[in-house]
């Protein structure tokens, strides 16, 4: 696999990881997320623009400039939505593609940039969508980034824009002076919510399924310390609690945890580790709590059992542009304590312009 093709796959899989950071399921919020990535120097395997949509962390739609058409990524979406709806989504994608080219050049000029990053030029990232919360209320969000740095933030509580630097302030003024900002607010508050309700009704069987985790406990000894790992694979719904106990007592402060990340089949995996003295290893248990389990289960190192069908790894490609995107997303998450409920804290390079008749949300 060539570098560019690998990066294209990595970007898609990377987006998949961040799409799943909400707390969703029966009696919880529902969320519709669209993730856009555009590059200034497209090539085979790396389209100029890629858009993926997720419902409660489940991939439902894909568009890229190479295909030129929105396609379903969930059987129940394809079955329940007619051709007119897919034509609308296609028009949304095509409108972004038409706009992003000129706007990318404009922003690069404002930043006085002429070179490329890892052979791909510059990159614009955007996340937008809406939530239906447990109490029935709704909210939208829209945030963007340029080369992994914050640029323009839409505060969806006040529905105002915040700029991060001089160039961003220029973009903000252009956005607010046009009609695109009002159209964006209409999309987030009305169209998106309408689509979200429709999609949830069609996908309820999939969204409310429960798949139990497969759990593996392992250990690695180095420099007189034993690191115990507890890995949970192949579970759905996303919320899960993985804890380490010593002598029956939870040791949260000593536990290091990984994020709950998605697999390509719509299930999730996560891990938790703890350092222990080798001679005390028998005192440790991993406790796993999940909606699919009638009660919490305890697992010890050395107990019979394997990875089973649950070990599914996304296989992210670690390349400079993807690493930058990961770092930016992580930074945004640390800044906002509500990040898990609204995984959309992405800002820096997309302001709005007058939109085509489809009501598309345009880049820059």
> How far apart, in whole angstroms, are the C-alpha atoms of residue 240 and residue 246?
20
DSSP state for residue 274 in the 8-state scheme: E
Window from 116-120, 303-307, 345-349 with minimum mean pLDDT: 345-349
Whole-model pTM: value is 0.73
Tens digit of each residue's pLDDT (9 = 90 or more) over 295-321 = 999 999 987 544 334 344 443 333 444
pLDDT surpasses 90 at 181: no
pLDDT surpasses 70 at 53: yes
CA distance readout (Å), 147 to 33, 59, 225, 323 = 21, 24, 40, 11
pLDDT surpasses 80 at 81: yes
Token readout for 27 is: 């009696």
Closest among 215, 243, 228 to 280, alpha carbons compared = 228
Cβ atoms of residues 55 and 207 within 8 Å: yes
- Between strands 149-155 and 160-163, the pairing is antiparallel
> How far apart, in whole angstroms, are the C-alpha atoms of residue 57 and residue 237?
10
Tens digit of each residue's pLDDT (9 = 90 or more) over 248-271 = 999 999 999 999 988 878 889 999
Domains of the chain: 3-207+316-335 (3.30.500.10), 214-310 (2.60.40.10)
> How far apart, in whole angstroms, are the C-alpha atoms of residue 87 and residue 278?
61
Q: Supply the pLDDT for residue 198.
A: 97
CB burial class (10 A; 0-12, 13-18, 19+) of residue 265? exposed
Tell me the pLDDT of the chain averaged across its residues: 78
Cβ neighbours for 192, distance < 8 A, ≥ 6 positions apart: 32, 128, 129, 130, 140
Beta strand segments in 223-336, E: 225-235, 240-246, 249-250, 256-257, 261-262, 268-276, 284-290, 297-299
């Amino acid at each position: 696999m060539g570098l560019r093709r690998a990066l294209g796959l990595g970007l898609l899989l990377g987006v998949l990881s961040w799409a799943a950071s909400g707390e969703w399921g029966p009696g919880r919020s529902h969320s519709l997320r669209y993730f856009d990535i555009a590059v200034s120097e497209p090539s085979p395997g790396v389209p100029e623009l890629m858009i993926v949509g997720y419902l409660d962390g489940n991939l439902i739609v894909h568009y890229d400039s190479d295909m030129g058409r929105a396609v379903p990524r969930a059987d129940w979406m394809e079955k329940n939505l007619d051709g007119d709806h897919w034509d609308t989504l296609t028009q949304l994608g095509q409108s972004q593609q038409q706009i992003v080219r000129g706007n990318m050049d404009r922003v690069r000029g404002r930043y006085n940039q002429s070179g490329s990053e890892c052979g791909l030029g510059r990159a614009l990232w955007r996340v937008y969508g809406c939530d239906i919360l447990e109490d029935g209320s709704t909210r939208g969000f829209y945030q963007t980034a340029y080369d992994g740095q914050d640029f323009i933030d839409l505060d969806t509580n006040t529905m105002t824009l915040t700029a991060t630097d001089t160039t961003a302030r220029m973009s903000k003024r252009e956005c607010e002076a046009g009609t695109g900002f009002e159209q964006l607010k209409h999309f987030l508050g009305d169209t998106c919510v309408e689509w979200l309700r429709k999609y949830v009704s069609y996908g309820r069987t999939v969204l409310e399924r429960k798949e139990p985790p497969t759990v593996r406990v392992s250990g690695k000894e180095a420099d007189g310390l034993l690191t115990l790992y507890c890995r949970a694979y192949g579970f759905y719904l996303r919320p899960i609690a993985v804890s380490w106990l010593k002598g029956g007592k939870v040791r949260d402060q000593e536990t290091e945890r990984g994020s709950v990340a998605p697999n390509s089949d719509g299930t999730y995996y996560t891990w938790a580790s703890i350092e222990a003295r080798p001679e005390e290893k028998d005192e440790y248990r991993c406790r796993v709590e999940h909606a699919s389990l009638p009660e919490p289960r305890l697992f010890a190192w050395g107990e019979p059992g394997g990875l089973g069908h649950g070990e599914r790894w996304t296989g992210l490609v670690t390349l400079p542009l993807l690493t930058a995107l990961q770092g930016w997303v992580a930074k945004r998450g640390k800044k906002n304590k509500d990040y898990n409920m609204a995984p959309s804290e992405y800002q820096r390079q997309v302001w709005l312009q007058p939109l085509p008749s489809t009501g598309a949300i345009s880049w820059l």
